[in-house]
Amino acid sequence: MASVRAATVAEPVGDVTAVLGEGPYWVPEDDCLLWVDIHRGRLHRTYFPSGETATIDFGPVSAAFPAVGGGILTAGGSQLALHVPAERGERWATRVIAEVPPREGIRFNDAGVDPAGRVWVGSMHTEESEPLGELYRLDAGGTLTTIVKGVTVSNGLGWSPDGTQMYYADSPMRRIDMFDYDPATGEAFKRRVFVDLSAADGVPDGLTVDADGCVWVAFWGGGVLRRFAPDGTQDAVLPVPVSQPTSCAFGGPGLTDLYVTTASVGLSEAELKAQPLAGRLLRLRPGPVGLPSTTTYATLPV
């Protein structure tokens, strides 16, 4: 198992500052990282090696993925929508793929694509206090099938290298759970605790899985990324220069770069002054590399 470089330093990428940066997703064919600013309803596409960022105002958006057949699939509000560039100009054509009945105080949050291209999306209570959200799987006919009920803040999703385990974070529970997973059918079952994080500083937010099967978790309010081995033991802790890292994803050549989204929301003037990189996209080179399956395009079932 690849060891983590203890002296890894986070560096800012580009010049965009988000209020609530989230959802990094690497698109290898374009050398591009998709990520969103939830509070501003913006999708950012940061290209490498230049670091230049193209921004699209899509309205409600909390996650984004490249789609098989072209376009970008977004989760936002209570809808999954496919956005395809129009033939001329900078306009995009948008089509709703699936939706759930809107409920006051509930919105989609983090989402994920399994190694087979199957789409998962979770919802959250905007006040973060009531278990009124759900975790859904996108099935044939544009149906969002409820897999988990009683969710407060649905967050990180990830899969083991062989696709037979799914990792999941409902942040206020302060733990990462795992399910047995059937990659052929998308069935998730036998939920149990992967790692109890009740004693850790901060709250588990977004996550990703590396080529060794280790789970990387961003800790909102903790200012760190933590790496957990497949048996749930903590393998490494990497500090980042902000208190609110939100998620992480491997990308770059050979998937050697680890991109971290961050947030500036809720920070005082003094905290913002002390954390000039709050809200920025960060890059680390920790040693371990990412899984190719974490860059899978979303498949839209017919």
Cis (ω within 30 of 0) for the bond into 24? Answer: no
Q: Are 201 and 221 in contact, with CB atoms under 8 Å apart?
A: yes
Cis (ω within 30 of 0) for the bond into 245? Answer: no
φ/ψ region of 58 (left if φ > 0, alpha if ψ in -120 to 50, else beta) reads: alpha
Query: Locate tokens 């609530």: which residue?
Result: 20
Q: Are 80 and 70 in contact, with CB atoms under 8 Å apart?
A: no
**Which active-site residues does the annotation give?**
205
101: tokens are 């009945």
Give the side-chain half-sphere CA count within 13 A for 216. Answer: 27
44: tokens are 């950012």
> How far apart are the C-alpha atoms of 176 and 239, rounded to whole Å?
20
Q: Are 233 and 215 in contact, with CB atoms under 8 Å apart?
A: no
How big, in percent rounded to 5, are the helix, strand and coil portions of the chain? Answer: 5, 55, 40
CA angle 65, 68, 72 (to 5 degrees): 35
One-letter amino acid for residue 16 of the chain: V
Strands 154-159 and 257-262: unpaired
